[in-house]
Amino acid sequence: MVAASSKGIFGGEPVLDLDYDEDSNCDTDMNVVMTGSGGFIEVQGTAEGAPFSRGELDALLGLATEGIAQLVARQKAALAT
């Protein structure tokens, strides 16, 4: 099982699943692809304005892990029906 999510730093805060306005105006944009067991397949992040910190990177990866776990759970539930 594989899932992906978009996240970024918008208004100084980490945000999961950016909408169009947030994505177009964020300070940092990141895409993460992970396996259902939590392995990373792809991590791609870009500072759109100022550089981002290690703490912000860790926060974004934490959001990715949580969000992708939710997506994987929904995929498994859909396949079980």
| pLDDT of the residue at 3 | 97
d(CA 56, CA 34): 19
Phi, psi of 17 (to 5 degrees): 60, 65
Residue 50, pLDDT > 90, answer no
Cα gap 45→78, rounded to integer Å: 30
pLDDT at 6 over 90: yes
**Is the alpha carbon torsion for 26, 40, 42, 6 positive or negative?**
negative
Cα 31 from Cα 21, distance rounded (Å): 16
pLDDT at res. 16: 95
Q: Specify the CATH number for the domain of residue 75.
A: 3.30.230.70
pLDDT at 17: 93
What number is the average pLDDT over the span 7-36? 94
Domain span holding position 52: 2-80
Q: What is the pLDDT of residue 49?
A: 82
Q: How many domains does the chain fold into? A: 1
